[in-house]
Amino acid sequence: MKKPIILSGMQPTGNLHIGNYLGALKHWVDLQNSGKYDCYFFIADLHSLTGDMTAAERRHQITMLAAEILAAGIDPKKSTLFVQSHVPAHTELGWIFDCVTPVAELERMTQFKDKSVSQEKNINAGLFTYPALMAADILLYKPEAVPVGDDQIQHLELTRDIAKKFNKRYPTFAKATAGKGEFFTEPKAVLTKTPRIKSLLEPTSKMSKSKGLGHVIELADEPAVIEKKLKKAVTATEGGEGSPGVENLLLLLQHFSTNDTSYKAFVSAEKDGSIRYGDLKSAVSDAISTYFFSFRERRKELLDNHNEIADILIDGAHRASAVANKTMEEVRKLVGIR
């Protein structure tokens, strides 16, 4: 029996941090290891072109991201990992979707509005139309579901709308659609259940590299670096009074510690006001360092052997192209360019 397809991607914009891991990458690994899905994961290098990065930096970041995805547990024998630009069908379908997507719908996208502020010196057309390319990334593979965070729901809803518009403009009555005239199915969202991880220094905001490295713990950080960052983490606003910072540290301990008794003891201490923040930070530091030990080792092995990474990505592109090209053959016929 054919497994339903799951698809998701990440931009190569820097080393992954624990917020990226709990919010997306761990979910990918869990979906892969469930054995229920045919998983496709990609590095969204074309989307990264909307930002300010040199060619050399982009090549480096693609390799780094591939190494970190693999080191975190994505297995090329179980999943297909590829680079977006290595499958040309993405941009071809993206242009076709540009031509069925109303400008008004693109203008409503909150991420375009946000990035227009954060990178006001580089507001390019790609930033505006990227949701159509994102829809192509997804619909090329006709996935049943897409793993997303709550901040990506709007993007997936637009993808569903684009699928509807395409189906209405270019109906098909092939047997595979049961006479419904719908070529693209509308993928469902698979929401991550992990609460959003907050910045170490500004625990009311989400963890983000854009604020500075002191705000995040990267998956590749060595134990001494993790310890140093956590020592500076914000805890309580007043003596003995809990805060978002404490809740954030407890959340990290809950997810990364193998000692549930320790976590429960700190939760209890927070409630009765006896919590010692130094002890909590030390426990979180030890838990994260231990949890990512094998990740750091595997990442180093991969980065010492770029050929292994390249071979995996080439194979992934071939496998992804087989699916994407089949979709595009049918799309070209439907729209009348074949």
Which strands, in side-by-side order, build the sheet including 5-10?
A: 79-83, 38-43, 5-10, 145-148, 188-191
Q: With beta carbons less than 8 A apart as the criterion, state whether 27 and 69 touch.
A: no
The reply to whether 142 belongs to the active site is no
* Nearest by Cα to 295 from 231, 222, 215, 229: 222
The reply to whether 271 belongs to the active site is no
282 part of a folded domain: yes
- Binding site feature residues for L-tryptophan: 137
| Three-class SS state of 275 | coil
Of all residues in the chain, what percent carry a pLDDT higher than 90?
76
Q: Is 207 or 114 the better-scoring residue by pLDDT? A: 207
pLDDT of residue 265: 94
The reply to whether 229 belongs to the active site is no
Strands 38-43 and 79-83: parallel
168 part of a folded domain: yes
CATH number of the structural domain spanning residue 67: 3.40.50.620
202 part of a folded domain: no
289 shares its domain with 310: no
Total count of domains within the chain = 2
Domain that holds residue 94: 5-195+306-335
Question: The whole model's pTM is what?
Answer: 0.92
Where on the phi/psi map is residue 273: left (φ > 0), alpha (ψ -120 to 50), or beta? left
Q: Is 132 or 52 the better-scoring residue by pLDDT? A: 132
228 shares its domain with 167: no
- Binding site feature residues for ATP: 11-13, 19-20, 149-151, 197, 206-210
257 part of a folded domain: yes
CATH number of the structural domain spanning residue 283: 1.10.240.10
72 part of a folded domain: yes
47 shares its domain with 145: yes
91 part of a folded domain: yes
Active site residue: 142, 165, 188, 209, which one?
209
143 shares its domain with 187: yes
203 part of a folded domain: no
310 shares its domain with 287: no
161 shares its domain with 189: yes
Question: Which pLDDT band holds residue 111 (cuts at 50, 70, 90)?
Answer: confident
- pLDDT of 181 above 50: yes
234: which residues sit within 8 A by CB, 6+ positions away?
200, 201, 202, 203, 243, 245
- pLDDT of 175 above 60: no
